[in-house]
Structure 1
Amino acid sequence: MQPMHRWILLLLLAGFPATGRTEDLLELSCSSDAQCAQFERGRCVDMACICTARGSGEQVPCAPLEERLKLTNIIGGTCPCPMPNAVCHTRWEQCLCSEGYVPSEDRRRCLPQVVQLGGSCEFQQQCRLADRFSSCIGNQCLCLNNFELQDGRCLAALQSSCLEDKDCGSCGASICLTKTKRCGCSKNFVHNHNMTKCIKGSAYGETCEHSSPCKVNLGADGQCLDHQCVCRSTHYPKRVANKVTKDVDDDHDEANKLEQITCVPIVPYGALCRHDRECRMQSMEQENATASTGHPMVCKWGECSCSETHRLEDNKCVFVENAAAHYQLGGFVAFVCFQFTMILY
């Protein structure tokens, strides 16, 4: 190669970052996240592959996937997957729980995502997805206090005693609960704060005196805070299709609505996932934002990671104004360098 050509090639390659650490032995230059997929939790930032630690998101030296610690019997570990209700993601060669199942706390088992009343549970969410007024108590899904199991549902109980349904009409209830012989509220209704009558549920932002009316519409993670229905700190409000059915004695005003607001879990960075939609959050305040900024997280190698238009800051994916343009420019520069190198040789 002629001396002048060497200088030109060096100038072109000067734009690619390099480090003085042992990582110099690895090819860390990149123009897209796909080129960093060879590393454990690698992604492309400023045209160089960086790698982050599982869970914390802190930057660590990159290591090839072939050298990563092989975990057996772990959800998120490498295939094969001997655990019941686990499947191997063929592209990632990673063990994931099947649809309808979630990892246990130690990630060694796949548990049912939804557990019906009376069933065995390990997480509160397993019970709450089946009935918003249930809880995992002693590893069993049971109704909350002041709620009673009736016809497969947890129904709110009043103080009034009864022998049959007609005894409960004066307090707005339509059911005489068989176990305790107390008047009970029908589905989509709950007791008031002093348990003297049945009231309908309260929507997001409406006034309340206790949390039960909020849970009717917002779900198990709705709560009454400062006399207003809101979501718990671990959840956010989201518009969803209305699922309230038109049954006898139900609140028909709520049933006729096309949409309702419910409380949805906040997805943390690094959460286990099977596909992109499990990493996507869209609160009411962000309904129009993703059209211009894109979704903050995508599913990569079984974990929720920052998308190409976002970067990690304080364990959150933050939008980068020129990330998309930078990504396209990086790909173009890499292509030009490759073509020029081929010409020189």
Structure 2
Amino acid sequence: MMLLPDRLCLASIFTVFFLARTGDGRLGDECWSDVMCNSIAGVCVDDRCECRPPKIPNQSNTDCVVAVDGICQTTTDKCYDPNQSCARTSPTYWDPTVCICNGNFTQKEPGELCRIKMGKKCDGVETPCVDGSCIEGTCQCPTGLVSSPTANNCALPFGATCDPARPNCVDPNAYCNADEKTCECKPEIYQPSENEDGITYCKADGLFSAALGAVCENDDKCAVLNSSCEMLNVLNKTCTCIEGFVPSEDRLSCLPVTNSWRGTCQEDLQCSAMFGRFGICKNRVCSCANGYAYVEEDFGCVPDHVAVSGRTAGHGIKLLATTLLPYLPDEAKIAVEQILDVI
């Protein structure tokens, strides 16, 4: 009976020893339970700690990580590529988070390690450029080639000599003309244009994808005058009128906002964008709709009885809200209109 405390002490020591060993296993360490490989989220296979699929060993073979472009957990997982981070590529909550290249890095092809983007700073030692080479501290394309819009490769500019078998034209809207053997715009849809830097690119014809509201990659793809490619929602960039302009009713042009009372106009939105939703274009000048009058202090159209009896704080709020209304999403317009009805 006197040995019982000693046995209890021995059992306690063994328990402490066992707990100390559990969860500390590294890749290749000896184990007899999966619990011993917890530190790497691994499993015990043939008495050795291994990565639990789909995870793989990292480059130094010391930890289990998520493969390039693989699905990951933002709070716990590490990516195989040190230039990738676990992030969500879609705004939809239920879509998975994945390992994607960090800001100044990109891939030539999916599944490859991330490299430094063209035009970004480099040292020519640690991480190579995605294409071209590191010259004077910057990733640059070889002579005769230019960087693609996504900065992930070097290719032939517009008008350069090309091989129809391997076109390699930098502009996605260009092709290698088999007869001329030069990079030219795809016929009928795109036409050559020149940006501020003097670089020729293929611009979409206004009859095709460049109308207002069309999905775009950059400003060059928006053919409507006074439009630009903007992130209108979290999913896509679209061709949108620049500040100071509003879309025409047929959405084929951008019209200037009329910023002076009784100024010239073509359509109602030019007036309502500045003077509230009851501002209309009448006889080619900005006027107020029936039942409303222009009040200089409010710089807009207010109900006739307000114009006569004076303004209130509520009317000021209403005017501001109605001025912004044309630019709000449909679901927001409904909510704002309900508020306006009770002011």
| TM more than 0.5 | no
Greater RCO (Cα-Cα under 8 Å, separation 6 or more):
1
Report the TM-score when normalising by structure 1: 0.28
Report the TM-score when normalising by structure 2: 0.28
